[in-house]
Structure 1
Amino acid sequence: MANIRLISSSSVCAANHKKPNLRIDLTPWDLQLFLVDSIQKGLLFHKPKPPDNEELENTNFNSIINHLKTSLSRTLDFFPPLSGRFATTEHDDNTVSFFIDCNNAGAEFIHAVAEGVSIADIIEPIYVPKIVYSFFPLNGVRNHEGTSKPLLAVQVTELVDGIFIGCTINHTVADGSSFWHFFNSWSEISRGLNCLSKPPLLQRWFVRNTDCPVRIPLLTNEQLYNRFVPPLLQQRVFHFTRENIAKLKAKANAEIGTNKISSLQALLSHFWRSAIRNKHLDPNEEINYRMLIGARQRLQAQLQAEYFGNAVQTGTVAMKAGEVVEKGLGYVALQMNKMVAVHTEEKLMNFLKSWTDSPKLITMDSVVTNALVTSSSPRFNIYGNDFGWGKPIAVRSGPGNKFDGKITVFPGEEEGSVDIEACLSPETLQGMANDADLMEAVIN
């Protein structure tokens, strides 16, 4: 498949930088992500049609690029952290603290062309083609590099008949909710809105009596430069309709005589069971399912939906491989339900307090041991991102934080449907493709 040709690269700053001295201290939720990769998500669109239905000339596409740059600049007025950089303060006790210096150093904007690549080349293959990773900027850049690298980078890649807008945001600055809040806001400004429907709340939230800034031990060279190298992996997007998800939910609840199990818990349990069946593990081997649990709705008195930053907690279900396979969908989903339920306000607050006393940074090596890890959410507003030429037709993620077992959940294009982007070994994915129990619920 064709390579990517770079057309231009430039820095985009906020159009009206009103808070040049704004400093934003980082919370434990933010700081724990310093050693992993950025968030990388992107949207695929049909190429806009000119009014006269003639072929879209380069000059016309350049006007689209200029429009996106201008609207991005105006959007950064509302999101000053994204045009800033990290700054550090070293302390006498061999600790360091970090904050976002909203200095308007600028976001990166790249215009590229994937010559000969069409929309069909991206969405029709069974496995996500590797060229998709080339649609994202700042590949291989980890969050701690935000002292010198942009905290936001955008790449607009022109296809034969489409446009892919790939966005990379430093994960220490934003979680998935904040990522899509920014993306939604940019599309609003691009459509001509003068103000945002949901302005972000920029002030970081800390547990009462937290010493700010939060200090962490000085980072060692081994921590900064040790790179996780995943094995050979492939990605496939599995599509589940609203009707099939409802059937899974009904089945899970019926098996254990309850109505507690949610649609998402039933779906993820169904998917986990298939993955474990096709990994052919020792039945007595302990395995984990980890998922990111949103804290905004669990700390409603302190956090609003528009809170801009990280507000997620990792929850883990630990079971033996044999239990996952043999005990049924309902049993597995119930364990997931119990795990989510224990993440109360008290548990979240205790985590933040204890982390401040004893900071522990997440590394890829610590995440990937015998685990499936789910990120993102089917509740994010992905298909509402209309930049002025129609809604997207697909969403894909970049290479950041990918390993054998990374499961990314997106809303499907049809209301109530869900897409699961699974990053697994080729052998596991092939086994799942032949798994009748799984594929009965999948729309190819």
Structure 2
Amino acid sequence: MMSSLQIENKNGTQVRFISTSTIQPKNDRQNHDLTTQRIELTPWDLRLLFFNYSQQGLLFHKPKHLHCEQEEEPKSNIISLIDHLKATLSRTLEIFYPLAGRLVLVENHDKTSSFFLHCNGEGAEFVHAAAHGVTVADVVNTPDVPNHVVDSFFLMNGVLSYQGISKPLLAVQVTELLDGIFISCTMNHSIADGSSFMHFLNTWSDISRNGSCDQLSQPYPVFGRQYLDGIVDLPIHIPFFHDQIPHGRLVSPPLQQRVFRFPKQKVAVLKAKANAEMNTNNISALQALMGHLWISITRNRHLKDDVEVACSMAVSMRQRIQPRLPEEHLGNTVLHGVVRTTAGELLKNGLGWAAWQINKTIASQTPEEAIKFLKDWAKSPKIAKVGQFADGTISHTAGSPRFNVYGNDFGWGRPISIRSGLANKFDGKLMAYPGDEQGCIDFEACLSPETMQAMTEDEEFMKTLSINLTRSSL
């Protein structure tokens, strides 16, 4: 379906939607695999029903064959590229066929509600768009790019995961820039966590690069819920679900984003310092960086000493529960660890102490804690809302520097960078990614304008960075 819809951002940038398509699995597996038409949602999945769809996008230089002087040839080549991406997405959905399905809401006789994932092959949304006047440098190098430019590269802004009962579970937008391509994916958060999201991207890029599934280097996803046998009974009945649905869109205060890059050498120094202060070797590089950011953000928020502050982190339980789940399990398997203290105590105790509290909290996410969470949630379901974190005292880290971001080569080279969309952002949200150089770690930070300004003027913090990549306003 062709579209002439054109959106103009506040800075005059125009994003034109060229075409919209529904992409279905190349071969409709649900016709011959009846045992996998229905996938139950777990407590980890269900508690995210009121979260926005997850949004991640990859920025690429424009393929060389699209840089042509003749007027008609680039148009033909970009259409060929779009057709290739559609075809390979269809092949990927044959493997990740649940993402082509829809959620189903069941009203039970006991006046509760239940959900399951129906693998009906209805398909994913695919949009081809063009952002006239936007360059690669605008996205990654210019500190004053408004974030609504990048937000316009993503679909389904503001959509909550429970709305997957009528909306696609996956939406892809491929946006042409003057000298680049931005491929964004918007995925229902109740269906997949960050690990599953990246597994899907890695698989699609692998198929796109090779042109087929014959030389696929990625393992196939696993959909089973047998690991919950004897722990919780599925489907879970949710009392008063309709009464809990958020009414109206949460309006957050103005926020700014910036990607802070920590080079390998600075990461090593912070890790060594944290371990030396606590006389241990158990603090990881990521834990040291999380402690460093928690301290720096708290210091630059200028909070009173007695104000309670918290550092929370998403901890994958795939390799922690028993028996272990394969990394390719499709779904959510995250527990949230939280360290609480006061602003005064945190700043007084320093890096080693902060990193050690994070280390202990992560270590406390044991198989027993996972089972306790699953059982407790099933007995008393509580659906989380993003707004409950937006109080300006928390630092929350998601993502992982272990994700294979730069392995996502669709056939014309590795990505330049990864960016997230508007979804699930609040003051204190941090996304950890691998940097584009070995051992480098990036943190995409979302903070109030006042805190962000103070961070960039904080010499103690800024000297631990290499390049400050972007600054943008939400």
1:9-408 map, 5 Å = 9-20=20-31, 21=34, 22-50=37-65, 54=69, 57-126=74-143, 129-130=146-147, 131-192=149-210, 193-195=212-214, 196-197=216-217, 198-209=219-230, 210-221=232-243, 223-299=245-321, 301-369=323-391, 370-408=393-431
Output the amino acid matched with 1:24: I
Query: 2:98, 2:118 within 8 Å by CA — same for their partners in 1?
Result: yes
Find the aligned partners of 2:426 and 2:160 in 1 and give their Cα distance.
Answer: 15
> 8 Å contact 1:251–1:330 — kept in the other structure?
yes
Structure 1 window deviating more from structure 2 (187-196 vs 266-275): it is 187-196
Task: Describe the superposition over 1:175-226 as per-residue Cα deviations: whole angstroms up to 9, x where unpaired.
Answer: 0000000000000110124243311011234433221111112323552424
Partner of 1:421: 444
Q: Which runs of 5+ in 2 are unaligned?
A: 1-10, 468-474
Q: Which amino acid aligns with 2:184?
A: G
Q: 1:19: Cα distance to partner?
A: 2.0
What's the secondary structure of 1:298's corresponding residue?
coil
Q: Deviations over 1:59-78 (max 9, x none)?
A: 10010000000000000000
**Greater mean alpha carbon deviation, residues 384-393 or residues 3-12:** 3-12
1:11, 1:106 within 8 Å by CA — same for their partners in 2? Answer: yes
Q: Give the superposition deviation at 1:368.
A: 2.7
Secondary structure, counterpart of 1:14 in structure 2: coil
* Letter matched to residue 78 of structure 1: I
**Contact 1:411–1:417 (Cα < 8 Å) also in 2:** yes
Give, in whole Å, the separation in 2 of the partners of 1:428 and 1:180.
30
State the shift of 1:302 in Å.
3.6
Residues 81-123 of structure 1: per-residue CA shift (max 9 Å, x gap): 1100001211111111101111111100000000011001111
C-alpha spacing 1:96/1:52, structure 2 compared with 1 (3 Å):
closer
67-76 or 430-439, which moves further after superposition? 430-439
Equivalent position SS for 2:396 = strand
The SS at the match of 2:335 is strand
Separation (CA, whole Å) in 1 of partners of 2:234 and 2:358: 35
CA drift at 1:364: 1.6
* Percent of aligned pairs sharing the same letter: 50
| Structure 2: distance between partners of 1:300 and 1:240 | 35
AA in 2 matched with 1:45:
F
Note closer, same or farther for the CA distance 1:206–1:300 as it changes in structure 2 (3 Å cut). Answer: closer
CA positional deviation for 1:365: 2.6
User: Paired residues, what number?
Assistant: 444
Mapped contact 1:127–1:237 kept (Cα < 8 A): no
Distance 1:194 1:223 in 2: 41
Relative distance call for 1:79 and 1:51 in structure 2 (3 A) is closer
Letter matched to residue 264 of structure 1: L
**Is the Cα–Cα contact under 8 Å of residues 242 and 418 in structure 1 kept in the other structure?**
yes
Q: 401, 406, 410: which is aligned to 2:433?
A: 410
**Taking structure 1 as reference, are residues 401 and 127 closer, same or farther at Cα in structure 2, changes over 3 Å only?**
farther
3-state DSSP class of the match of 2:64?
A: coil
Q: Which runs of 5+ in 1 are unaligned?
A: none
Pairwise CA distance, 1:436: 1.3
TM norm structure 1: 0.97
Contact 1:128–1:234 (CA<8 Å) still a contact in 2?
no
Distance 1:244 1:52, change over 3 A: closer
**8 A Cα contact 1:128 1:237, kept in partner:** no
- Matched letter for residue 203 of structure 1: G
Do 2:68 and 2:74's aligned partners in 1 also have CA atoms closer than 8 Å? no
Counterpart Cα distance in 1 of 2:144 and 2:228: 44
Q: Deviations over 1:33-81 (max 9, x none)?
A: 0011111000000000119965661110010000000000000000111
Using the size of structure 2 for normalisation, the TM-score is 0.91
